Chain A
Amino acid sequence: MTKIRYNIIQLDVTEAGQVVEIRHRLPSNYGRCNGYVARHIKGISSELDIPEIGLLAVEFNSRKQLFINDLIGYEAQVEQLPEYRELNIPLESGQLVTGYYLDTQKSPYPFVDVKEWFRPYSIAIYLRCEIQNNEQHVRSSSIHSTTTEAAKD
């Protein structure tokens, strides 16, 4: 049976138009990512839904594969948690998840600059990954056996 683990990348946006860089290392025993959800989690309060608050790009395996380009919106009332969107990314052990989030909010008031109206907020990227089935500590056990053989000589 495949074991599933969830990994959360939280990004804090503190300025209007900010580019937030993503540099995140996944645990080295993750073998594959098969789903993601990216959403606003705190900071924005509006009575209306906002279809776009920012743009998200995520690359896997230390910039070898660009897999996610997505719009992030704001939901005033969350009635149902969004379903995971499908991914199928074999992971190289210990590599970085990189990318960026760009705040693209516009002021809803025509004569108010977005910088005056802006309030800090956070978004989260939830990654759903499978644990690698390989035996762990292979390297350390091979070192041990070599040492044992050397000791025999």
Chain B
Amino acid sequence: MYDHLVFIQQQLKQRKIEPALQQFYRIELPVGKSQHQFYAYNELLFLTNAGQLPPGTLIQSDSRARRIPFDIQSQEGIEDYTGTISIEFPQPLEVSTTLEFIQIISK
């Protein structure tokens, strides 16, 4: 079975990133929000709940960009973002939404 934590550890090893800290990181966005920008320099944020975001949501960072597909089943695995991270929802949120990440702070 696909295991997020094992995948992350493998990714870090392959990319020769030595973590100083690994922890959960949550961002809660209120109803009506259509865009949110925050910063994650010198760290990686692995988004773990992409499947719970509205289809069409754009997540963009310095290293990676992803639009949540309408066929949510095609969302494979988890991906990491770094630098300036911007989340754009296709419409203002109708329910409050939480973004859940695993945060890796590198040495």
Contacts and interface: CB of A to CB of B under 8 A. Distances in A.
Contacts of A57: 62-65
Contacts of B64: 57, 99-100
A18 B60 CA distance: 12
Interface of B: 14-16, 58, 60, 62-67, 82-83
A64 B67 contact: no
B63 A64 contact: no
A144 interface: no
A85 interface: no
Contacts of A76: none
A62 B17 CA distance: 13
Interface residues of A, number: 14
Nearest to A99: B63
A17 interface: yes
A102 B60 contact: yes
**Interface of A: prevailing SS:** strand
A19 B58 contact: yes
B65 A100 contact: yes
Interface in A49-85: 55, 57, 59, 62-64, 66, 69
B88 to A, nearest CB: 9
B15 A66 contact: no
B67 A19 contact: yes
Contacts of B82: 66
A86 to B, nearest CB: 19
Contacts of B58: 17, 19, 102
Nearest to A64: B15
Interface in A1-44: 17-19
Contact of A63 (B15, B60, B65, B67): B15
Contacts of A66: 62-63, 82-83
